[in-house]
Each structure stands twice: as C-alpha cells, then as structure tokens.
Homo-oligomer: A and B are copies of this chain.
Amino acid sequence: MFAAIQAHQSRQSIMNFCSHCGAPVHVRIPEGDNLPRYVCTACATIHYQNPKIVAGCIPEWQGRVLLCRRAIEPRYGLWTLPAGFMENGETTPAAAARETLEEANAVVKDLELYGVFNLPHINQVYMLFRGRLQEGQASAGAETLEVRLCEEAQVPWDELAFPVIRETLELFFEDRRRGVYPLRMSDIMRGADNRIEVRRY
C-alpha cells in the first residue's frame, strides 16, 4: 500500500534504538564490512537497511490501461498504476495482483514482468507486470478516488503521480505500437539540481 511510503521514508529509516535490546545505536562500519550501519552499543546487533520492492500492474483491457486516481498522500488526486510495497511471504506477481485488487477492485490474470525501475535516491525498485484485466471490471478501492480505462490519448499525462508511472506508460505505449514487449529497465534518479533524470538501459 502506498500509504506506507511516508512511514518508510521517515521514521523507519532513521534508527535511534536497537530493536533487539532497546539500547541506543550508533553508526559505524562493522568489521569486515565497508558501509556504515546502525550498530547496537549494547548487544552489537548490526541493523542492515535495504531497498524495498514496489510491485505493480499495468492492467490491460481491449487496448486500454487501467489507471487509478489517488485518494491518499503523497500525490493526492493524481493518477497512478496500481502498485505498492511487496509484503513478506509474497511472490512479486502475487504482490502486483494484490495491489491491483486493493486499489482498483480488479482481478488481473497472466501477469508478465515488463518493467524494472531502479530509484536509488529513495531506495526502491519498482517491478511492473503487464496483466489482463478480467472482464474489464474495476472500481475505486479504499486508497483510490476513481478508476479509468485509458487509451494512450486519454492518459492524463500532466496529472501523473510519479515519474516512474510516466516512464512505465511511455515505454508501454511505445512497445504496444510495435506489438512486442521486451523487458524494460530504467534508472530514475533525482539529480543535484532536484530534477528527475531517467536513464534507459
């Protein structure tokens, strides 16, 4: 669920106390390592932090793609594809299908991995699957204001929630014109001047 983004980016990534024993942590490079980590001052537990997977779907139906208008921050009111943090115990396509069900009350079948997008500045990897929207049925879930099945020309390009959504849709419609969908990978980064840079592989 996207609602989790803010929590992940703020309180969760800054660590003050050891989650194992409750003592304060400090930042140091453990022996045999080469990166600074949070290490407990009492029990010496090393607390690794790693990127998170955002799994999502491009639900397709009769040449159109299902978009969701966000009912939550960040980017309230802007358009996105159904996507959210993968949960423990899931597979990546199961996570993409669950997010699609939660955000758009929509069932997707025949999922195929289409795009892997690295967002190193926010420690996320997006994994987007193409999926067949069953019977074209969808409606707004709890985190969604409305859903819309869009042809390429109907996509609200100026009201998309995230750069990764624009990148996914641009690549998808480009590939759809050719009728082939190779795996796509891009790095999407925020540069020194705060502008988004996209590097396609």
Q: Residues of A with Cβ closer than 8 Å to B? A: 1, 3-4, 7-8, 11-12, 14-22, 24-25, 32-33, 35, 45-53, 85-94, 113, 116, 118, 120-121, 123, 125, 127, 142, 183, 185, 187, 201
15 A/B residue pairs, CB under 8 Å, sorted by A: A3-B32, A7-B46, A7-B48, A11-B20, A17-B18, A19-B47, A22-B24, A32-B142, A50-B85, A50-B87, A51-B53, A51-B87, A53-B53, A91-B120, A92-B185
Knowing A51-B90, A89-B120 touch, does A16 contact B21 (C-beta < 8 A)? yes
Query: A13: shortest Cβ distance to chain B, in Å?
Result: 8
Given contacts A11-B45, A116-B127, 9 further A-B contacts (CB under 8 A): A11-B20, A15-B19, A16-B20, A17-B20, A17-B22, A51-B87, A53-B125, A91-B120, A93-B118
Q: A118's contact among B8, B91, B187, by CB below 8 Å, is which?
A: B91
Q: Would B21 and A19 count as touching, CB distance under 8 A?
A: no
A51 to B87, CA, bound (A): 6
3 closest A-B pairs by beta carbon, nearest first, are A17-B22, A91-B118, A88-B123
Query: A87: shortest Cβ distance to chain B, in Å?
Result: 6
Q: Name the residue on B nearest A49 (C-beta).
A: B88
